[in-house]
Each structure stands twice: as structure tokens, then as C-alpha cells.
């Protein structure tokens, strides 16, 4: 699903593209998502022309890499020659939020309901979400809201859905890493994606549940086992890292926030989050100290929120905002091979350093599904 905000991330396709790890010497490439018509403004949120997904093909399964390269190489070459017309978006998407009663799910549901692209919004949770649905139904926006509660209603929630967003799971608490969430959230994501595969196999799937570096590979493996895997339609929503990077850089450099776009590559945990400050738009100079400071803050921003909430929650409002920006029409449209070229020495070293950790997280997700399959 093409996005309407400038966002760079790797795990969305790293994991979405598969999960088996390819040759370690593979070329770097990125995936550029481009909708045919854009929202120039989404309920006051920043809207831009594209989303770039940066990745190393060594993290992708050969199957996914081949599909994406063959499908979109020509489009990538012709990209600079394209022209677009901007039209009023048509409300046509039916969206399901799985985990709609949670800290991310509720504000996300509000923001999605405000989108002119959405005609219907299904809310699902294990606990009752009738109250959330009733509250949202009072908002005078086009999307019709329906609520579904418990495992017995999951299939009905997913019937005819075009987009599935999964924030379900437990949040981080002080002292917890994203990896600490794995044993709980891995099962949740696996169960939900199995239901998606059975009931709306053509839907775009947006995974928010942490640890994203492992839950997206879980989703990919489940879809493969069900025979409905499409690497163009599975995303790890790491948009929050871009939102944070844009905010912190704008504050640091006294820039107009709406104009700032900082590419972020890698994954969505610790050192796997790599902001490419040298590619900040508009172009801006950073001292070595500023690069170090900003990089560390962006990487640890999630922990900053967890600690500030003192055990009462994690990044929910900012995550909902970031996820709501990730709306559009067509999925992955092009593979751009040049996006990881011209990095600074600091960025290149950081990229090499994150690979083993990201690779291990992906393999952990793959192994989880494989083990569950064997046991079954």
C-alpha cells in the first residue's frame, strides 16, 4: 500500500520480503512506494509524495528479492520521468484494526476514521470495543464503524477488508526491551495473520506489534505457509522512527518541521534504527557531536517515552500518529538501488554494525513459525 508521507524503513520489507537470509554480499537496495494520487494534507498531518524503504538484500529471502526486482526494476528506471495529477481521494478502503481497544489502537482508530480514503472501519479486540466504536460513530467523518469482540468474531471482522493494521499485543514497560515482548506478541501476531490469510488474503497488512524486527518475519512465514504471501503487501510500520527523526532534527536546527524529511533505515529497535542524517532534506550540516547525539536519541526514543510514563504505558499517541500517516493505494512500486550509496563513514559503520542484530531478529521470527508448524 503506497504511503502518503515520506518514510524510510527496512524491516517493513526486510521481514515482509521474507525472512530467509540471502548471501551476505548482496547489493543494497531500497523500495520506493508511490501512490498514483496523493493526499496533500491528511487531517492536518504532513503529507509528502513518497515513502522510501531502505534495505540490504542480504536481509531478504531470495524469493522476495527476485519478485520485487523483476516486478519493479523498469518502474524504478522510469520514475524520474513520471508526472502526477492530484485528485480528490475517493473513500474506498475498508480497514480493520486488530487491537483497537489498546493504547495505540484507540487513537489510531480515530485518525484512520478521519481519513477520506476510508469508507468502513472495523474494530477488533479480545476485550469489548463497543464503547470505542460508539464513541467514534459520533464523529462526522465518512467511515462507518463496526465492532467485533473475541476470537469467534475475528473472521467476520476481516471479511472484505482491504487493509489490516495490527497494533495488538502487550506494550513495553520500564526495563523491558522489545525482544522481551517476543514470547507474548509472537503468538498474537501469528494467530491474527493466520486469520487474515484465511479471510482477506489480498489485504495490505501493517504490523505495529513489537518486536517489529521479528513480528514481520512471523507474518511473512505465516502467509507463505498459507500460500498467499505477497511482499508488496506486507509492511513493518516503523514510520515512528522517521517522525521522531524529523522532529528532533527540526528542533535541533530550528527548521520548519513540515519541510524536514530524515531517511531512517534498518529495523525498529536500538542500533538497528539508523537515521541517515547526511541525507536530511532540506540539506543541513551536522557536527560529529550532533550526529552522535541525534542518532542515539532517535534510537532510544521509545525508551525515553516508556521511562517518562513510569510503567503506565509506552509510545502510544506518537505511534498512532505515525501509523495513520502510512495510508495510500498501491503497495511497493519500485526498487531503487542507489538510496544507500554515498553514506558518511559514520553511517556506513553503523549500517554494518546493525546487520547481525537485525539478521538475528529476523531469524528468530522465522524459527518461531517453523517450530510451531513442526509441532502442529
- Say what the pLDDT of residue 313 is: 83
* Tens digit of each residue's pLDDT (9 = 90 or more) over 266-284: 999 999 999 999 999 999 9
Of 90, 138, 206, 268, which is the active-site residue? 268
- Say what the pLDDT of residue 171 is: 78
- Say what the pLDDT of residue 65 is: 60
* Tens digit of each residue's pLDDT (9 = 90 or more) over 6-25: 333 344 433 333 332 233 33
Residue range 156-178: mean pLDDT, rounded: 88
- Say what the pLDDT of residue 48 is: 36
- Say what the pLDDT of residue 88 is: 54
From 96, 3, 86, select the one nearest 51 (Cα to Cα): 3
Average pLDDT, the chain: 80
Residue 117 pLDDT > 80: yes
* Tens digit of each residue's pLDDT (9 = 90 or more) over 42-72: 333 343 333 333 344 444 556 666 655 555 5
- Say what the pLDDT of residue 62 is: 60
Q: Which helix (H) or strand (E) holds 102?
A: none
Q: What is the DSSP string of 142-187?
A: S-EEEEEESGGGHHHHHTT-SEEEE--SPPP-TT--GGGGHHHHHH
- Calpha distance 257→254 (Å, rounded): 9
- Calpha distance 25→363 (Å, rounded): 18
- Say what the pLDDT of residue 71 is: 55
- Say what the pLDDT of residue 110 is: 97
Percent of the chain topping pLDDT 70: 73
Using DSSP bridges, classify how beta strands 118-125 and 93-98 pair: parallel, antiparallel or unpaired.
Answer: parallel
pLDDT interval class at 76 (50, 70, 90): very low
- Say what the pLDDT of residue 66 is: 61
Written as nine digits, the cell of 181 is 515482548
Residue 80 pLDDT > 60: no
DSSP letter for 27, please: P
CA 59 vs CA 204, 314, 358: distances in Å:
21, 28, 8
Higher pLDDT, 339 or 19: 339
Is 206 an annotated catalytic residue?
Answer: no
Amino acid at each position: 500500500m503506497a504511503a502518503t508521507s515520506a518514510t524510510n524503513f527496512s524491516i517493513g520489507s526486510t521481514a515482509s520480503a521474507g525472512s530467509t537470509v540471502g548471501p551476505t554480499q548482496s547489493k543494497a537496495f531500497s523500495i520506493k512506494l508511490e501512490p498514483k494520487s496523493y493526499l496533500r494534507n491528511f487531517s492536518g498531518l504532513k503529507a509528502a509524495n513518497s515513502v522510501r524503504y531502505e534495505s540490504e538484500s542480504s536481509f531478504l529471502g531470495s524469493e522476495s528479492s527476485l519478485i520485487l526486482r523483476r516486478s519493479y526494476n523498469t518502474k524504478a528506471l522510469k520514475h524520474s520521468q513520471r508526472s502526477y495529477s492530484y485528485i480528490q481521494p475517493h473513500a474506498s478502503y475498508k480497514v480493520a484494526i486488530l487491537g483497537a481497544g489498546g493504547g495505540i489502537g484507540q487513537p489510531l482508530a480515530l485518525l484512520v476514521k478521519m481519513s477520506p480514503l476510508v469508507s468502513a472501519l472495523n474494530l477488533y479486540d479480545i476485550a469489548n470495543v463497543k464503547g470505542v466504536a460508539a464513541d467514534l460513530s459520533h464523529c462526522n467523518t465518512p467511515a462507518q464503524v463496526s465492532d467485533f469482540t473475541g476470537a469467534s468474531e475475528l473472521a467476520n471482522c476481516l471479511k472484505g477488508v482491504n487493509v489490516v493494521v495490527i497494533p495488538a499485543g502487550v506494550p513495553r514497560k520500564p526495563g523491558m526491551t522489545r525482544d522481551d515482548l517476543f514470547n507474548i506478541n509472537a503468538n498474537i501476531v501469528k494467530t491474527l495473520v493466520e486469520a487474515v490469510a484465511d479471510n482477506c488474503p489480498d489485504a495490505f497488512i501493517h504490523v505495529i506489534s513489537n518486536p517489529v524486527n521479528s513480528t514481520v518475519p512471523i507474518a511473512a512465514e505465516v502467509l507463505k505457509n498459507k500460500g498467499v504471501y505477497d511482499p508488496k503487501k506486507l509492511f513493518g510500520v516503523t514510520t515512528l522512527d522517521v517522525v521522531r527523526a524529523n522532529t528532533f532534527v527540526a528542533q535541533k536546527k530550528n527548521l520548519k518541521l513540515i519541510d524536514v524529511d530524515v531517511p531512517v533505515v534498518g529495523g525498529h529497535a536500538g542500533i538497528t534504527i539508523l537515521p541517515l542524517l547526511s541525507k536530511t532534506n532540506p540539506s543541513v550540516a551536522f557536527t560529529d557531536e550532533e550526529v552522535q547525539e541525534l542518532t542515539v536519541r532517535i534510537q532510544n526514543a521509545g525508551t525515553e517515552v516508556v521511562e517518562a510514563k513510569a510503567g503506565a504505558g509506552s509510545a502510544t499517541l506518537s505511534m498512532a500518529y505515525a501509523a495513520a500517516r502510512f495510508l495510500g493505494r498501491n503497495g511497493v512500486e519500485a526498487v531503487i538501488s542507489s538510496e544507500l550509496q554515498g553514506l558518511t563513514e559514520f553511517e556506513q559503520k553503523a549500517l554494518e554494525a546493525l546487520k547481525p542484530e537485525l539478521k538475528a531478529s529476523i531469524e528468530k521470527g522465522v524459527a518461531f513459525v517453523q517450530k510451531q508448524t513442526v509441532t502442529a
